[in-house]
Structure 1
Amino acid sequence: MERSLETQVGQAVDAWLAWLPRWQPATHRGRVAPCRRCFGSPVLAAAGLGADVPHAVQHGLSTRMKTIIDRAVSTYTERNLPMLQAELDHQAARNRARRYRPTDDLDPEFDGLPLDPDPEPGAPFLFTIAGLADEADQEVPALPPLSAEAKQALRQEVGLADDYANMIGREICTLLYAHRLRMRTAVVQYVEPQIEAMLAELSLTLDAPFDPGEGNTPLT
Protein backbone atom coordinates (compact mmCIF):
# COMPACT_ATOMS: atom_id res chain seq x y z
CA MET A 1 0.00 0.00 0.00
CA GLU A 2 1.36 3.37 -1.02
CA ARG A 3 1.99 5.89 1.72
CA SER A 4 0.09 9.14 1.48
CA LEU A 5 1.99 12.28 0.55
CA GLU A 6 1.32 13.67 4.02
CA THR A 7 2.90 10.59 5.61
CA GLN A 8 5.94 10.78 3.33
CA VAL A 9 6.53 14.44 4.15
CA GLY A 10 6.15 13.80 7.87
CA GLN A 11 8.61 10.91 7.79
CA ALA A 12 11.11 12.94 5.75
CA VAL A 13 10.92 15.79 8.26
CA ASP A 14 11.40 13.28 11.08
CA ALA A 15 14.54 11.95 9.37
CA TRP A 16 15.87 15.48 8.90
CA LEU A 17 15.22 16.28 12.56
CA ALA A 18 17.04 13.11 13.59
CA TRP A 19 20.06 14.14 11.51
CA LEU A 20 20.16 17.78 12.60
CA PRO A 21 21.84 17.19 16.02
CA ARG A 22 24.82 15.71 14.13
CA TRP A 23 25.29 18.80 11.95
CA GLN A 24 28.42 20.86 12.42
CA PRO A 25 29.55 24.00 10.58
CA ALA A 26 31.83 23.27 7.67
CA THR A 27 35.48 24.21 8.06
CA HIS A 28 36.34 24.35 4.35
CA ARG A 29 35.93 27.31 2.01
CA GLY A 30 32.45 28.23 0.89
CA ARG A 31 31.44 28.03 -2.74
CA VAL A 32 30.85 31.05 -4.93
CA ALA A 33 28.03 29.53 -7.00
CA PRO A 34 24.68 29.12 -5.19
CA CYS A 35 23.10 25.69 -4.95
CA ARG A 36 20.56 25.38 -7.76
CA ARG A 37 18.43 23.05 -5.65
CA CYS A 38 18.18 25.33 -2.63
CA PHE A 39 18.56 28.90 -3.89
CA GLY A 40 15.10 30.48 -4.00
CA SER A 41 13.44 27.14 -3.21
CA PRO A 42 9.70 27.47 -2.41
CA VAL A 43 10.03 24.27 -0.36
CA LEU A 44 12.53 25.92 1.98
CA ALA A 45 10.38 29.04 2.16
CA ALA A 46 7.39 26.92 3.16
CA ALA A 47 9.52 25.15 5.77
CA GLY A 48 10.63 28.47 7.24
CA LEU A 49 14.32 27.82 6.54
CA GLY A 50 15.40 31.20 5.22
CA ALA A 51 18.74 32.81 4.44
CA ASP A 52 19.68 32.83 8.13
CA VAL A 53 19.93 29.02 8.09
CA PRO A 54 23.21 27.45 6.81
CA HIS A 55 23.01 25.90 3.38
CA ALA A 56 23.97 22.40 4.58
CA VAL A 57 20.96 22.44 6.90
CA GLN A 58 18.69 23.60 4.10
CA HIS A 59 20.09 21.07 1.63
CA GLY A 60 19.34 18.12 3.86
CA LEU A 61 15.64 19.02 3.85
CA SER A 62 15.27 20.14 0.23
CA THR A 63 16.90 16.93 -1.00
CA ARG A 64 14.51 14.79 1.04
CA MET A 65 11.54 16.67 -0.42
CA LYS A 66 12.97 16.29 -3.94
CA THR A 67 13.17 12.54 -3.38
CA ILE A 68 9.44 12.49 -2.60
CA ILE A 69 8.67 14.49 -5.75
CA ASP A 70 10.89 12.27 -7.89
CA ARG A 71 9.24 9.14 -6.54
CA ALA A 72 5.74 10.50 -7.23
CA VAL A 73 6.69 11.58 -10.76
CA SER A 74 8.28 8.18 -11.40
CA THR A 75 5.04 6.42 -10.47
CA TYR A 76 2.99 8.83 -12.60
CA THR A 77 5.32 8.38 -15.57
CA GLU A 78 5.29 4.60 -15.35
CA ARG A 79 1.48 4.59 -15.39
CA ASN A 80 0.74 7.33 -17.91
CA LEU A 81 3.73 8.30 -20.08
CA PRO A 82 5.04 5.29 -22.04
CA MET A 83 7.48 7.13 -24.32
CA LEU A 84 9.12 8.99 -21.46
CA GLN A 85 9.27 5.81 -19.42
CA ALA A 86 11.01 4.01 -22.28
CA GLU A 87 13.60 6.78 -22.50
CA LEU A 88 14.15 6.66 -18.76
CA ASP A 89 14.58 2.89 -18.90
CA HIS A 90 17.19 3.29 -21.65
CA GLN A 91 19.01 5.92 -19.60
CA ALA A 92 18.87 3.77 -16.47
CA ALA A 93 20.39 0.85 -18.35
CA ARG A 94 23.08 3.16 -19.71
CA ASN A 95 23.86 4.41 -16.21
CA ARG A 96 24.14 0.86 -14.88
CA ALA A 97 26.68 0.10 -17.58
CA ARG A 98 29.05 2.82 -16.37
CA ARG A 99 32.01 1.45 -14.43
CA TYR A 100 32.23 4.51 -12.14
CA ARG A 101 29.14 6.05 -10.52
CA PRO A 102 30.21 8.40 -7.68
CA THR A 103 26.75 9.93 -7.22
CA ASP A 104 25.01 6.65 -6.38
CA ASP A 105 23.65 6.14 -2.86
CA LEU A 106 24.72 9.50 -1.47
CA ASP A 107 23.17 10.63 1.81
CA PRO A 108 20.53 13.37 1.34
CA GLU A 109 22.89 15.95 2.85
CA PHE A 110 25.36 15.42 -0.04
CA ASP A 111 23.08 14.47 -2.93
CA GLY A 112 23.12 17.05 -5.72
CA LEU A 113 26.20 18.91 -4.48
CA PRO A 114 29.32 19.30 -6.66
CA LEU A 115 31.56 16.25 -6.51
CA ASP A 116 34.79 18.26 -6.15
CA PRO A 117 35.75 21.34 -4.13
CA ASP A 118 36.66 24.54 -5.93
CA PRO A 119 40.36 24.46 -6.90
CA GLU A 120 42.81 26.78 -5.22
CA PRO A 121 44.14 29.50 -7.58
CA GLY A 122 47.36 28.30 -9.14
CA ALA A 123 46.99 24.79 -7.78
CA PRO A 124 44.94 22.71 -10.23
CA PHE A 125 43.86 19.19 -9.37
CA LEU A 126 45.70 16.26 -10.94
CA PHE A 127 42.28 14.67 -11.46
CA THR A 128 38.71 15.26 -10.28
CA ILE A 129 35.87 12.93 -9.35
CA ALA A 130 33.62 14.69 -11.87
CA GLY A 131 36.25 14.22 -14.56
CA LEU A 132 36.53 10.50 -13.84
CA ALA A 133 32.75 10.20 -13.98
CA ASP A 134 32.68 11.99 -17.35
CA GLU A 135 35.31 9.64 -18.71
CA ALA A 136 33.27 6.64 -17.62
CA ASP A 137 30.16 8.16 -19.21
CA GLN A 138 31.91 8.57 -22.56
CA GLU A 139 32.69 4.86 -22.67
CA VAL A 140 28.99 3.93 -22.68
CA PRO A 141 27.20 3.89 -26.08
CA ALA A 142 24.87 6.83 -26.72
CA LEU A 143 21.10 6.44 -26.70
CA PRO A 144 19.50 5.58 -30.05
CA PRO A 145 18.32 8.59 -32.08
CA LEU A 146 14.64 9.56 -32.23
CA SER A 147 12.53 10.64 -35.18
CA ALA A 148 11.09 14.16 -35.31
CA GLU A 149 7.64 12.80 -34.45
CA ALA A 150 9.00 10.84 -31.51
CA LYS A 151 10.86 13.90 -30.23
CA GLN A 152 7.68 15.98 -30.35
CA ALA A 153 5.68 13.31 -28.52
CA LEU A 154 8.44 12.96 -25.96
CA ARG A 155 8.48 16.73 -25.36
CA GLN A 156 4.76 16.63 -24.68
CA GLU A 157 5.16 13.83 -22.16
CA VAL A 158 8.04 15.65 -20.48
CA GLY A 159 5.79 18.68 -20.17
CA LEU A 160 3.11 16.58 -18.50
CA ALA A 161 5.67 15.14 -16.09
CA ASP A 162 6.88 18.65 -15.24
CA ASP A 163 3.33 19.81 -14.58
CA TYR A 164 2.78 16.85 -12.26
CA ALA A 165 6.05 17.54 -10.43
CA ASN A 166 5.00 21.16 -9.90
CA MET A 167 1.64 20.03 -8.53
CA ILE A 168 3.29 17.63 -6.06
CA GLY A 169 5.74 20.35 -5.09
CA ARG A 170 2.91 22.75 -4.26
CA GLU A 171 1.20 20.10 -2.15
CA ILE A 172 4.44 19.46 -0.28
CA CYS A 173 4.82 23.17 0.43
CA THR A 174 1.34 23.19 1.94
CA LEU A 175 2.07 20.13 4.06
CA LEU A 176 5.34 21.59 5.35
CA TYR A 177 3.51 24.43 7.09
CA ALA A 178 2.34 21.93 9.71
CA HIS A 179 6.00 21.15 10.57
CA ARG A 180 7.40 24.69 10.63
CA LEU A 181 7.32 25.10 14.40
CA ARG A 182 9.22 21.93 15.26
CA MET A 183 11.73 22.54 12.49
CA ARG A 184 12.38 26.08 13.70
CA THR A 185 12.65 24.84 17.28
CA ALA A 186 15.28 22.32 16.21
CA VAL A 187 17.25 24.99 14.35
CA VAL A 188 17.22 27.20 17.46
CA GLN A 189 18.35 24.29 19.62
CA TYR A 190 21.05 22.71 17.45
CA VAL A 191 22.14 25.19 14.77
CA GLU A 192 22.02 28.69 16.22
CA PRO A 193 24.26 27.93 19.24
CA GLN A 194 27.00 26.69 16.90
CA ILE A 195 26.70 29.78 14.71
CA GLU A 196 26.80 32.05 17.76
CA ALA A 197 29.91 30.25 19.04
CA MET A 198 31.64 30.76 15.68
CA LEU A 199 30.76 34.46 15.66
CA ALA A 200 31.97 34.85 19.24
CA GLU A 201 35.29 33.21 18.36
CA LEU A 202 35.62 35.43 15.29
CA SER A 203 34.91 38.58 17.30
CA LEU A 204 37.66 37.67 19.80
CA THR A 205 40.11 37.23 16.93
CA LEU A 206 39.15 40.59 15.44
CA ASP A 207 39.35 42.38 18.80
CA ALA A 208 42.85 41.02 19.55
CA PRO A 209 44.74 40.53 16.26
CA PHE A 210 48.07 40.45 18.07
CA ASP A 211 49.23 38.65 21.19
CA PRO A 212 50.55 41.30 23.66
CA GLY A 213 52.62 38.58 25.32
CA GLU A 214 54.82 38.39 22.22
CA GLY A 215 55.74 42.06 22.36
CA ASN A 216 53.33 43.22 19.67
CA THR A 217 51.35 46.39 20.08
CA PRO A 218 47.70 46.41 18.98
CA LEU A 219 46.77 48.89 16.29
CA THR A 220 44.97 52.06 17.45
Structure 2
Amino acid sequence: MERSLDAQVSQAVEAWLRWVPRWAPATHRGRVAPCRRCLGSPILSAAGIGANVPHGVQHGLSTRIKSIIDQAVAEYTARNLPMLQAELDQQADRNRSRGYRPAEGLEPEYEGMPLDPDPVPGAPFLFTVAGMADDAAAELPPLPPLSEDAKAALRQEVALADEYANMVGREICGMLLSHRLQVQAAISRYVEPQIEAMLAELSEALDSPFDPDIP
Protein backbone atom coordinates (compact mmCIF):
# COMPACT_ATOMS: atom_id res chain seq x y z
CA MET A 1 0.00 0.00 0.00
CA GLU A 2 2.80 2.43 0.86
CA ARG A 3 4.36 2.05 -2.56
CA SER A 4 1.00 2.65 -4.23
CA LEU A 5 0.38 5.73 -2.11
CA ASP A 6 3.83 7.07 -2.89
CA ALA A 7 3.20 6.71 -6.63
CA GLN A 8 -0.18 8.42 -6.35
CA VAL A 9 1.27 11.32 -4.37
CA SER A 10 4.06 11.77 -6.91
CA GLN A 11 1.52 11.78 -9.75
CA ALA A 12 -0.64 14.33 -7.92
CA VAL A 13 2.31 16.65 -7.36
CA GLU A 14 3.40 16.28 -10.99
CA ALA A 15 -0.12 17.16 -12.18
CA TRP A 16 -0.13 20.21 -9.91
CA LEU A 17 3.29 21.26 -11.20
CA ARG A 18 1.96 21.09 -14.77
CA TRP A 19 -1.03 23.23 -13.77
CA VAL A 20 0.76 25.96 -11.77
CA PRO A 21 2.20 27.74 -14.85
CA ARG A 22 -1.40 28.30 -16.01
CA TRP A 23 -2.49 29.93 -12.75
CA ALA A 24 -3.15 33.64 -12.91
CA PRO A 25 -4.57 36.08 -10.33
CA ALA A 26 -7.46 36.83 -12.68
CA THR A 27 -8.66 33.23 -12.25
CA HIS A 28 -8.35 33.34 -8.45
CA ARG A 29 -11.62 34.05 -6.64
CA GLY A 30 -11.68 35.41 -3.14
CA ARG A 31 -13.80 33.70 -0.50
CA VAL A 32 -16.12 35.16 2.09
CA ALA A 33 -15.40 32.21 4.41
CA PRO A 34 -12.05 30.40 4.75
CA CYS A 35 -11.67 27.06 2.96
CA ARG A 36 -11.78 24.36 5.62
CA ARG A 37 -9.83 22.04 3.33
CA CYS A 38 -6.87 24.41 3.01
CA LEU A 39 -6.82 26.53 6.17
CA GLY A 40 -4.11 25.17 8.47
CA SER A 41 -3.78 22.03 6.35
CA PRO A 42 -0.88 19.77 7.44
CA ILE A 43 -0.83 18.48 3.85
CA LEU A 44 0.04 21.93 2.51
CA SER A 45 2.52 22.52 5.31
CA ALA A 46 4.30 19.26 4.49
CA ALA A 47 4.41 20.24 0.81
CA GLY A 48 6.03 23.57 1.67
CA ILE A 49 3.05 25.77 0.72
CA GLY A 50 2.73 28.60 3.22
CA ALA A 51 -0.42 30.42 4.30
CA ASN A 52 0.63 33.49 2.26
CA VAL A 53 0.33 31.55 -1.03
CA PRO A 54 -2.90 32.41 -2.91
CA HIS A 55 -5.75 30.08 -2.04
CA GLY A 56 -6.26 28.92 -5.61
CA VAL A 57 -2.70 27.60 -5.71
CA GLN A 58 -3.16 25.86 -2.35
CA HIS A 59 -6.51 24.38 -3.34
CA GLY A 60 -5.17 22.84 -6.52
CA LEU A 61 -2.81 20.61 -4.52
CA SER A 62 -4.91 19.98 -1.41
CA THR A 63 -7.82 18.75 -3.54
CA ARG A 64 -5.62 16.35 -5.48
CA ILE A 65 -4.22 14.91 -2.26
CA LYS A 66 -7.67 14.70 -0.69
CA SER A 67 -8.85 12.53 -3.59
CA ILE A 68 -6.03 10.08 -2.80
CA ILE A 69 -7.05 9.91 0.86
CA ASP A 70 -10.72 9.55 -0.10
CA GLN A 71 -9.91 6.64 -2.40
CA ALA A 72 -7.85 4.87 0.26
CA VAL A 73 -10.65 5.29 2.81
CA ALA A 74 -13.22 4.06 0.29
CA GLU A 75 -11.22 0.88 -0.28
CA TYR A 76 -10.79 0.37 3.47
CA THR A 77 -14.50 0.93 4.05
CA ALA A 78 -15.52 -1.54 1.34
CA ARG A 79 -13.29 -4.22 2.92
CA ASN A 80 -13.93 -3.66 6.60
CA LEU A 81 -16.97 -1.49 7.37
CA PRO A 82 -20.15 -3.09 5.97
CA MET A 83 -22.70 -0.82 7.67
CA LEU A 84 -20.97 2.38 6.59
CA GLN A 85 -20.55 0.98 3.08
CA ALA A 86 -24.27 0.19 2.90
CA GLU A 87 -25.11 3.75 3.94
CA LEU A 88 -22.71 5.18 1.37
CA ASP A 89 -24.19 2.96 -1.34
CA GLN A 90 -27.69 4.16 -0.49
CA GLN A 91 -26.54 7.77 -0.58
CA ALA A 92 -24.80 7.21 -3.91
CA ASP A 93 -27.96 5.69 -5.41
CA ARG A 94 -29.93 8.63 -4.07
CA ASN A 95 -27.50 11.12 -5.61
CA ARG A 96 -27.55 9.36 -8.97
CA SER A 97 -31.29 9.91 -9.16
CA ARG A 98 -30.79 13.68 -9.05
CA GLY A 99 -31.04 15.29 -12.45
CA TYR A 100 -28.81 18.26 -11.66
CA ARG A 101 -25.38 17.82 -10.04
CA PRO A 102 -23.25 20.87 -10.94
CA ALA A 103 -20.56 20.25 -8.32
CA GLU A 104 -19.57 16.85 -9.73
CA GLY A 105 -16.96 16.19 -12.40
CA LEU A 106 -15.07 19.44 -11.85
CA GLU A 107 -11.33 19.84 -12.27
CA PRO A 108 -9.42 19.55 -8.96
CA GLU A 109 -8.80 23.29 -8.86
CA TYR A 110 -12.55 23.95 -8.66
CA GLU A 111 -13.74 21.09 -6.45
CA GLY A 112 -15.37 22.41 -3.29
CA MET A 113 -15.25 26.02 -4.49
CA PRO A 114 -18.41 28.18 -4.47
CA LEU A 115 -20.68 27.47 -7.44
CA ASP A 116 -21.80 31.10 -7.69
CA PRO A 117 -19.94 34.44 -7.54
CA ASP A 118 -20.35 36.59 -4.45
CA PRO A 119 -23.57 38.66 -4.61
CA VAL A 120 -23.37 42.36 -5.33
CA PRO A 121 -25.21 44.54 -2.77
CA GLY A 122 -28.44 45.81 -4.25
CA ALA A 123 -28.30 43.41 -7.19
CA PRO A 124 -29.79 40.09 -6.09
CA PHE A 125 -29.53 37.01 -8.27
CA LEU A 126 -32.65 35.83 -10.09
CA PHE A 127 -31.41 32.31 -9.41
CA THR A 128 -28.21 30.58 -8.33
CA VAL A 129 -26.55 27.35 -9.41
CA ALA A 130 -26.27 26.25 -5.78
CA GLY A 131 -29.96 27.00 -5.25
CA MET A 132 -30.98 24.87 -8.21
CA ALA A 133 -28.80 22.02 -6.93
CA ASP A 134 -30.46 22.30 -3.50
CA ASP A 135 -33.90 22.22 -5.11
CA ALA A 136 -33.00 19.03 -6.99
CA ALA A 137 -31.72 17.41 -3.78
CA ALA A 138 -34.85 18.41 -1.84
CA GLU A 139 -37.03 16.43 -4.25
CA LEU A 140 -35.39 13.14 -3.27
CA PRO A 141 -37.03 10.87 -0.69
CA PRO A 142 -35.24 10.66 2.68
CA LEU A 143 -33.09 7.68 3.57
CA PRO A 144 -34.80 4.99 5.67
CA PRO A 145 -34.51 5.54 9.45
CA LEU A 146 -32.04 3.55 11.55
CA SER A 147 -32.59 1.89 14.91
CA GLU A 148 -30.62 3.18 17.90
CA ASP A 149 -28.38 0.10 17.82
CA ALA A 150 -27.71 0.62 14.13
CA LYS A 151 -26.90 4.28 14.73
CA ALA A 152 -24.40 3.35 17.45
CA ALA A 153 -22.74 0.73 15.23
CA LEU A 154 -22.62 3.18 12.34
CA ARG A 155 -21.00 5.87 14.52
CA GLN A 156 -18.34 3.35 15.53
CA GLU A 157 -17.59 2.51 11.89
CA VAL A 158 -17.45 6.21 10.97
CA ALA A 159 -14.91 6.71 13.77
CA LEU A 160 -12.80 3.86 12.38
CA ALA A 161 -12.95 5.39 8.90
CA ASP A 162 -11.86 8.76 10.30
CA GLU A 163 -8.99 7.12 12.17
CA TYR A 164 -7.85 5.39 8.99
CA ALA A 165 -8.09 8.66 7.03
CA ASN A 166 -5.88 10.37 9.62
CA MET A 167 -3.34 7.55 9.38
CA VAL A 168 -3.20 7.78 5.59
CA GLY A 169 -2.94 11.56 5.82
CA ARG A 170 0.06 11.30 8.13
CA GLU A 171 1.77 8.88 5.75
CA ILE A 172 1.17 11.22 2.83
CA CYS A 173 2.57 14.17 4.78
CA GLY A 174 5.81 12.21 5.15
CA MET A 175 5.86 11.47 1.43
CA LEU A 176 5.28 15.12 0.51
CA LEU A 177 8.46 16.19 2.29
CA SER A 178 10.50 14.88 -0.64
CA HIS A 179 8.56 17.16 -3.02
CA ARG A 180 8.97 20.40 -1.06
CA LEU A 181 11.79 21.81 -3.16
CA GLN A 182 9.90 21.22 -6.42
CA VAL A 183 6.75 22.78 -5.02
CA GLN A 184 8.51 25.83 -3.62
CA ALA A 185 10.50 26.32 -6.82
CA ALA A 186 7.28 26.33 -8.85
CA ILE A 187 5.72 28.92 -6.52
CA SER A 188 8.84 31.11 -6.74
CA ARG A 189 8.92 30.86 -10.53
CA TYR A 190 5.24 31.15 -11.49
CA VAL A 191 3.24 32.56 -8.58
CA GLU A 192 5.38 35.07 -6.71
CA PRO A 193 6.27 37.21 -9.79
CA GLN A 194 2.56 37.65 -10.53
CA ILE A 195 1.83 38.67 -6.96
CA GLU A 196 4.74 41.12 -6.97
CA ALA A 197 3.48 42.63 -10.24
CA MET A 198 0.00 43.04 -8.74
CA LEU A 199 1.42 44.75 -5.65
CA ALA A 200 3.54 47.06 -7.78
CA GLU A 201 0.52 48.02 -9.87
CA LEU A 202 -1.52 48.63 -6.73
CA SER A 203 1.25 50.76 -5.26
CA GLU A 204 1.31 52.94 -8.38
CA ALA A 205 -2.46 53.33 -8.29
CA LEU A 206 -2.35 54.43 -4.64
CA ASP A 207 0.43 56.99 -4.97
CA SER A 208 -0.13 59.97 -2.70
CA PRO A 209 -1.73 62.97 -4.47
CA PHE A 210 0.65 65.18 -2.49
CA ASP A 211 3.74 63.59 -4.09
CA PRO A 212 5.80 66.55 -5.42
CA ASP A 213 6.85 64.49 -8.43
CA ILE A 214 3.25 64.29 -9.65
CA PRO A 215 2.29 67.30 -11.79
TM-score w.r.t. length of structure 2 = 0.94
2: distance between equivalents of 1:27 and 1:58?
14
Which consecutive unaligned segments of at least 5 residues does structure 2 have?
none
**Percent identical residues:** 71
In structure 1, the partner of 2:50 is 50
Q: For the residues of structure 2 that align with 1:189 and 1:109, how far apart are their CA atoms?
A: 19
Task: From the superposition, tell whether residues 27 and 202 of structure 1 become closer, same or farther in structure 2 (CA, over 3 Å).
Answer: farther
Two-structure CA RMSD over aligned residues (Å)? 2.1
1:159 is matched with 159
For the pair 1:84 / 2:113, whether they are aligned, the reply is no
Paired letter, 1:98: R
The letter for the 2-side match of 1:178 is: S
Q: For residues 27 and 20 of structure 1, what CA distance do their matches in structure 2 show?
A: 12
Instruction: State the match for 2:35 in structure 1.
Output: 35
- Pairwise CA distance, 1:168: 0.5
Q: CA deviation at 1:64?
A: 0.4
Tell me, what secondary structure is at the counterpart of 2:50? coil
> Is 1:135 aligned to residue 138 of structure 2?
no
Q: Which moved more, 1:110-119 or 1:155-164?
A: 110-119
Q: Which residue of 1 aligns with 2:181?
A: 181
Greater shift in the superposed pair: 196-205 or 57-66: 196-205
**Secondary structure in 1 matching 2:26:** coil
Deviation (angstroms), 1:67: 0.1
Distance 2:138 2:187 in 1: 43
What does residue 214 of structure 1 align with? none
**Which residue does 1:213 correspond to in 2?**
none
Q: Which runs of 5+ in 1 are unaligned?
A: 211-216
Relative distance call for 1:159 and 1:70 in structure 2 (3 A) is: same
Cα offset, 1:204, TM superposition: 1.2
The structural deviation recorded for 1:26 is 2.9
Q: Which amino acid aligns with 1:167?
A: M
Tell me the TM-score normalized by structure 1.
0.92
Q: Give the aligned length.
A: 213
Q: 2:48–2:180: 8 Å Cα contact kept in structure 1?
A: yes
